[in-house]
Amino acid sequence: MGTIRKPFVGVIYRGVDISSDITYFLKNFRYTDKLDSDSPDIEITLEDREQIWQNEWFPVTGDTLSIFFQYEGEIEKLEANNFEVDLLDFSFDSDGDTLVIGAQQTPFSKNLREKRSQEYEKLELVDIVKLIGARQGLTVRGEVFNIGFDRITQNEESDLEFLTRISQDYGHLFKIQGNDLIFYNWFDLNRQRIEFELTRKDITRFEASKKLTGIYGSAKIVYEGVNGETVTGAILQSKSPNNSKDVLVINEKVESDNQAIAKAQEKLRKANADEFSGTLELEGECRYIAGINFTIKGFGAFDGVWQIQEVEHNFSPSNGWKSTLKIYGL
């Protein structure tokens, strides 16, 4: 008979370990890690029959916390740091008092959400990213594609909105951790090594689908040149072969062939990303992190390489640690 693994969660609040306090009152703990530019978030649901959390222990919005998941006696630990409290939700009913603490990783202590207008001229994409990073006191990490702009406008957009728009247009995604602005690109993520394999014995529930509607075998670039002329560019083939004969026509105003091809590649990738999509439910593990590539075996046509797009880790005293993965086939 195998050893029963006992999971637990920990919370570091403003630098102080309050794990034992949280454990005593804990009803449910949820941590969601996301691959897109939406912020990872935490939700801690606490029973408060002693009315301590709504009084002397009532948290302060903007306070920082970090969390971890772990199995007792095991070294591996799933850690998530630099969250800021943004929600305190109290309720009372026949089951008693409850306080929900919500926190996001994208900081509210930065001025990321103020609307502004600004022109950026004769700059590379990486230069624009660094300018915004410097304005927000953030250090840029990761690789940003070499794409030049004669002029691009931030028009009544927050720095967060503007960064999201220009990064998504050209195949990038980013997250903010503490004082780091960390950039990734889809092509490097998709080429990462395979980290592990899952089979039927590992999985509690698996749902998957393959679709053809909205999937394209290639893309044709048609764009307006700098002098207003219509330019028909190259035909791009899908990097993931499929049986679609449809052509995605991309018609946008751009400043260069480089911009046109980069935009077209990203639009084709995004359109085809959910040709194979699915959801996995299984026992929680440290290795389930957004952006990880892995293989599935034992499900016929759905065997192959998949990527975690989003993972929700849930812990409760009654159900233990469970993970739900949203996945795309590569």
- CATH number of the domain where residue 285 is located: 2.30.300.10
Residues counted in the chain: 330
Domain identity same for 71 and 89: yes
For residue 110, is it within any domain?
no
Task: Find the helix packing angle between 125-135 and 159-169, rounded to 10°.
Answer: 160
For residue 66, is it within any domain?
yes
Mean pLDDT of 303-328: 96
Q: Report the number of distinct structural domains present in the chain.
A: 4
Give the lowest-confidence range in 127-141, 229-243, 290-304: 229-243
Mean pLDDT of 183-196: 93
Mean pLDDT of 16-21: 93
Q: Measuring CA to CA, how many Å separate 154 from each of 20, 121, 166, 266?
A: 46, 11, 10, 21
Global pTM exceeds 0.95: no
Decide if pLDDT at 224 tops 80: no
Q: What are the φ and ψ backbone dihedral angles of 62, each rounded to 5 degrees?
A: 95, -15
For residue 140, is it within any domain?
yes
Q: For the segment 82-128, what is each residue's pLDDT rounded down to a tens digit?
A: 999 999 999 999 889 999 999 999 888 778 889 999 999 999 999 99
Domain identity same for 230 and 207: no
For residue 109, is it within any domain?
no
For residue 2, is it within any domain?
no
Domain identity same for 180 and 130: yes
Domain identity same for 39 and 163: no
Decide if pLDDT at 129 tops 90: yes
Q: Are 24 and 49 in contact (CB under 8 A)?
A: no
Decide if pLDDT at 225 tops 70: no
Domain residue limits at 206: 192-211+275-329
Query: Which of 41, 72, 104 corresponds to the end of one domain?
Result: 104
Query: Which of 74, 104, 134 corresponds to the end of one domain?
Result: 104
Supply the pLDDT for residue 229: 67
For 121-166, the DSSP string reads EEEEHHHHHHHHHHHTT-EEEE-----EEEEEEEEEEEHHHHHHHH
Q: For the segment 138-164, what is each residue's pLDDT rounded down to a tens digit?
A: 999 998 988 899 999 999 999 999 999
Supply the pLDDT for residue 232: 66
Decide if pLDDT at 320 tops 70: yes
* Token couple for 35: 């691959």
R_g (Cα) of the chain, nearest Å:
23
Domain identity same for 164 and 241: no
Domain identity same for 38 and 91: yes
Supply the pLDDT for residue 32: 96
Domain identity same for 43 and 170: no
Domain identity same for 256 and 234: yes
Query: Which of 104, 131, 153 corresponds to the end of one domain?
Result: 104
Domain identity same for 227 and 264: yes
Decide if pLDDT at 290 tops 60: yes
Q: Measuring CA to CA, how many Å separate 281 from each of 183, 285, 312?
A: 29, 11, 10
Distance CA 315, CA 262 (A): 41
Domain identity same for 202 and 311: yes
Is residue 64 very low, low, confident or very high in pLDDT (cuts 50, 70, 90)? very high
* Token couple for 141: 């990490």
Short-list 275, 263, 285, CA closest to 307: 275
Domain identity same for 42 and 98: yes
Supply the pLDDT for residue 252: 77
Supply the pLDDT for residue 201: 96
For residue 1, is it within any domain?
no
* Token couple for 214: 């909205």
For residue 90, is it within any domain?
yes
Domain identity same for 124 and 250: no
